[in-house]
Amino acid sequence: MKKENKVQKKKYFRSLEQLDGSKEYKEKAHREFPEGASEMNNDWSRRNFMGIMGASIALAGLAGCRRPKEKIVPYVKPPEDVIPGIAQQYATTMPFSTSSYGIVVESHEGRPTKIEGNKLHPSTLGSSNAMIQASMLGLYDPDRSKKVLRKGKEKTFEDFTSFWAEKFAAYKDSKGEGLAVLSESFASPTLARLKKQFEKIFPKARWATYEPVSDENIYDGLRSATGKDIQPIYDYSKADVILSLDSDFTLTESEDITANTGFAAGRTIEDEHSKMNRLYVVETAFSGTGGVADHRLVIKQHEIVRFVHAVAQNLEVWNVDQNLKLSPASAAWLDPLVQDLIDSKGKSLVVAGRRMPKEVHALVYTINEHLENIGRSVRYVERKDTEISSVGSLKDLTYNMKSGSVSTLLMLNTNPIYNAPADFKFNSALKKVENSIHVGLYNDETAKVCSWHIPTTHYLENWSDARSVDGTASVVQPLIAPLFDGKSAVEFLSLAATGEYKDGHNIVRETWGKLLSGSFESSWRKVLHDGLLKGSASKVVGIAGRKIPAELLNLRNNNGIEFVFVPSPSTFDGRFANNGWLQELPGAVTRIAWDNVAQVSKKTADSLGLKSEDLINITIDGREIQMPLWVVPGTANDTVILELGYGRKGIGRIADKAGFDVYPIRTSEAMSYAFGVTIVGTGRTFELANVQDHWSMEDRPIVREATKEDYKYNPEFAKEAVEHPPLESMWDEFKYDKGNQWGMAIDLTTCTGCSACTIACQSENNIPVIGKQEVRNGREMHWIRIDRYFSGDVENSASVEMVHQPVACQHCEMAPCEQVCPVAATVHSDDGLNTMVYNRCIGTRYCANNCPYKVRRFNFFNFTKETPEIVKMAMNPDVTVRSRGVMEKCTYCIQRISKARIEAKKEDRLIVDGDVVVACQQACPANAIAFGDILDKTSNVYQVKARNRAYDLLGELNIRPRTSFLAKIRNLNPNMPKASKSEIENT
């Protein structure tokens, strides 16, 4: 018990402003009216939000049924019995860079309304992430481009085809001399086929592929190590010891879903005796992955490179005798870490993030090979039909454009004006191109300066196909006919390659004719039904790894401040910038919505004499941008983390007002990180929408945490963390002992704070987007939020630990919110749900005051009043849209419960475990959420709740929450140095 108390008694610190009681904070606290707080235009800023989703009335007609013309096959039922009110589910695929996610889309009378993972697909395994969930809203984005434009003037697609017809003839003769294509990277049989076709007709044409955030380094590293173009496939579930080298594999790296699932699988423990994997994270920025790490080493990117070499040295896979000048902290790590890796040979895994240079990835390959992990926790397959992003290819292209040797440039879903490396000066290069043709979803930065812009289609409204990283081929089938009459990339590329327009459906079928064996129609139907082609995964390639020659070693060592570019967990590289759900989703670590920030450690901020919300000038060799600074404890000292993907201009009402553009200071020499940045405060501040100002847990037993040893020592530590008198009532309590009694359990050991649940809930329950100002006012509406707490010494980044805790309504059996409602608008159902009766609510907000978890959300304004028809199409018809003045909160997806009840009734049976899968549970890639009948001893949730780690948050209030949490366990390596001791010198 003592031990656990120690565990609980970590020194948690408060929000920094408070910690150092800075003058600024005192003012804020003492000033009755912080400027801005009382500005007359509060309602105007709300209007702005209304504007955010406001669309032209012209769209109003679209709300009707738009079932695609072609025959598509439903997942569960044949399409002929479409019963109004009964949702149908279709399998399709979301292409994402060189990967793809197999998904199942719920469609109500022809409107896609909800995305869920496809259990059969290797990249989703039935779950999903925030971006997949939110891509639904992207389909209905009223700001998508709707018109073919020539030099800004409206034209028809026919105008373009006729224009292209003559160009096509001309270039055909010149074998494509002066013709060039800039494409996004893809993994698609059809697109690959069309590319080949294109190159056959235009042999002299140039082809470049570019994405601002890509795995290029990984592929290059593997090529230099093996000489082959191969794709790594990780299976985290097979690894007992995982070493992540700057890889945020649970959130922002490729294949985050399977990574999450596998990692969680190796970490889900029955009791104190179960086996549990151990995660070492070496990183610079604080990532969600760093939060779940058992040991976290926080050093600069440059030192990580040296650290990897040191590991290789110790493992004797890289024997160059060279002083790597490791900091004491890193040095202290080496021996125990390497020992642990060796001890679990064949059951370990070393991964490096996409920011690491190719040398590191080459080394990592060799290390894995040496540790006999290849074929176990990691396997390598050949890449099929994939187009890899290459900065080099873009460099050549721009060079040729400048030299005037490019007369026509086709741009496929790329936006180089916004995100090309600054030193390429793509803008001036483009001016030299006679015909620049842009194909994209938005009339974006690039489209605006191109001579032609063709609106393209969202993946939910076009025919295409894709391969997952392991090569599994799947078809992208439309759920709805194109809303804005765009042309898909497939259609455009085929037009480019053949000179005449062909319909996407036929193009794709043409490709698949070769892929499918046996009767085409039946296997085609099967593919559409399953969402993928079974057995199409690529074979594992066997390679004998080669030793890395020493000259590959890249060991720049420098002083001063290091800058690091990271993709935003919300907008990624900017492609989701106009997505309200993602913009309003607070960062897993920063808890900031609607903006990107320059993250630094407390020490660094102090040394710069700056603090959070200061607007700063960031200069990297002559290029300067402005953005707000934000202190994130646990960030490496003397580094600044710059989030990409914000500060879009003129593409949409949401994107335009969100954040700051970082690309202007990102050059091809330093795509990931480098030294040589100067940071100067402007003396001004910038107000950020931060949903959790308070960092500390105040020594309260909220997230209950212990090391594996302490857990062994006292398996009951979680329950014993609070001492309280016996929980008895003065009255005869209502007995919930009949029928189904719903309950939930959330495992804090596997939760990585990825926020998939939050967006899934938002999509399922029609939760409104309220805009930055309202979030600033502390009125965020998310029904399930991810609380984030830091522990340790803020001054010492190495000592800082982070925990995440998803909190939704706990459905207390003796809910304090119910007794205080004067009109009985929130009462208990006999299956144990704390129900919220919207039409009875008069909005006294007393229930919210009396809720100890503060999970109730109030409609301070009519947040949905001005939602345009087009966005209403995304709404779930099974869930009431709440009006102004009404309280709302998590309902345990009551609509899904009643759906299951109805099904069970129809089949004249009882509801069985698994009939009800709530939205957050369904989305969670870590399967950290269990839900079901707590009276049914065979149910999953019953067994999870029965584990000794289970505890009720604030259970001592005797309110009997129905949601339980499983305490967080960290599996420490006893031989590792204590984090708090190893203060980092910056070498």
* Shortest spacing between CB 62 and another protein, in angstroms: 29
What phi, psi does 361 have (nearest 5°)? -65, -35
Closer CB to another protein, residue 184 or residue 831? 831
Closer CB to another protein, residue 20 or residue 43? 43
Task: Quickly list DSSP for 353-378.
Answer: -TTS-HHHHHHHHHHHHHTT-BTTTE
Closer CB to another protein, residue 46 or residue 648? 46
- Contact present, 401 and 410 (Cβ < 8 Å): no
Q: How far out from the chain centre does Cα 202 lie?
A: 38
Which residues make Cβ contacts (< 8 Å) with residue 258, sequence separation at least 6? 122, 123, 124, 125, 234, 236, 925
Site string for another protein, 869-908 (x = CB under 8 A): ---------------xxxx---------------------
| Nearest-10 crossing angle of helices 358-370, 216-226 | 60
Site for another protein, residues 845 to 874, rule: CB under 8 A: 845-846, 848-850, 852-854, 857-862
Closer CB to another protein, residue 535 or residue 726? 726
Q: Where do runs of H (alpha helix) occur along 672-726? A: 708-713, 717-720
Site for another protein, residues 719 to 738, rule: CB under 8 A: 729, 731-734
Closer CB to another protein, residue 302 or residue 856? 856
Site string for another protein, 446-485 (x = CB under 8 A): ----------------------------------------
Bridge partner residues of 675 (DSSP): 562
Report how far residue 502's alpha carbon sits from residue 563's, in angstroms, rounded to the nearest whole number: 47
> Would you state the structure tokens that stand for residue 384, as one six-digit string?
């099929």
Site for another protein, residues 322 to 361, rule: CB under 8 A: none
Closer CB to another protein, residue 845 or residue 978? 845
Site for another protein, residues 783 to 802, rule: CB under 8 A: 785, 787-789
Report how far residue 887's alpha carbon sits from residue 812's, in angstroms, rounded to the nearest whole number: 17
CA-nearest of 961, 958, 960, 964 to 728 is 958
* Shortest spacing between CB 788 and another protein, in angstroms: 7
* Shortest spacing between CB 813 and another protein, in angstroms: 5
* Shortest spacing between CB 593 and another protein, in angstroms: 14
* Shortest spacing between CB 836 and another protein, in angstroms: 13
> Would you state the structure tokens that stand for residue 345, as one six-digit string?
């040979």
Site for another protein, residues 747 to 786, rule: CB under 8 A: 774, 777-780, 785
Closer CB to another protein, residue 447 or residue 754? 754
Site for another protein, residues 654 to 713, rule: CB under 8 A: 692-694, 696-700, 702
Report how far residue 676's alpha carbon sits from residue 678's, in angstroms, rounded to the nearest whole number: 7
Task: Quickly list DSSP for 317-348.
Answer: SS---------HHHHHHHHHHHHHHHHTTTSE
> Would you state the structure tokens that stand for residue 883, as one six-digit string?
């009006």
* Shortest spacing between CB 604 and another protein, in angstroms: 25
Closer CB to another protein, residue 228 or residue 694? 694
- Residue 656 is given by DSSP the state G
- Contact present, 751 and 928 (Cβ < 8 Å): yes
Bridge partner residues of 439 (DSSP): 412, 454
CA-nearest of 265, 341, 345, 330 to 298 is 330
Closer CB to another protein, residue 311 or residue 815? 815
3-state DSSP assignment of residue 917 = coil
Pairing between β-strand 111-117 and β-strand 99-108 as defined by DSSP bridges: antiparallel
* Shortest spacing between CB 840 and another protein, in angstroms: 7
Closer CB to another protein, residue 43 or residue 229? 43
Closer CB to another protein, residue 71 or residue 845? 845
* Shortest spacing between CB 178 and another protein, in angstroms: 58
Closer CB to another protein, residue 204 or residue 854? 854
C-alpha atoms less than 13 angstroms from C-alpha of 861 in its C-beta half-sphere: 23
Report how far residue 895's alpha carbon sits from residue 911's, in angstroms, rounded to the nearest whole number: 14
3-state DSSP assignment of residue 534 = coil
Size of the site for another protein (CB under 8 A): 79
Site for another protein, residues 125 to 154, rule: CB under 8 A: none
Site for another protein, residues 802 to 831, rule: CB under 8 A: 805, 807, 813-816, 818-824, 827-830
* Shortest spacing between CB 694 and another protein, in angstroms: 4
Site for another protein, residues 18 to 37, rule: CB under 8 A: 28-30, 32-34, 37
- Contact present, 847 and 855 (Cβ < 8 Å): no
Closer CB to another protein, residue 486 or residue 753? 753
Site for another protein, residues 928 to 957, rule: CB under 8 A: 954, 957
- Residue 733 is given by DSSP the state P
E strand segments, 77-123: 88-96, 99-108, 111-117
- Residue 985 is given by DSSP the state P
Report how far residue 764's alpha carbon sits from residue 940's, in angstroms, rounded to the nearest whole number: 23
* Shortest spacing between CB 861 and another protein, in angstroms: 4
Closer CB to another protein, residue 362 or residue 833? 833
| 519 sits near another protein (criterion: CB under 8 A) | no
Among positive and negative, which fits the CA dihedral 702, 708, 710, 715? positive
- Contact present, 966 and 269 (Cβ < 8 Å): no
Report how far residue 590's alpha carbon sits from residue 596's, in angstroms, rounded to the nearest whole number: 9
**Rg of the chain over CA atoms, in angstroms?**
28
Site for another protein, residues 36 to 65, rule: CB under 8 A: 37-38, 40, 42-43, 46
From 840, 905, 978, 981, residue interacting with another protein (rule: CB under 8 A): 840
Site for another protein, residues 601 to 620, rule: CB under 8 A: none
Closer CB to another protein, residue 211 or residue 801? 801
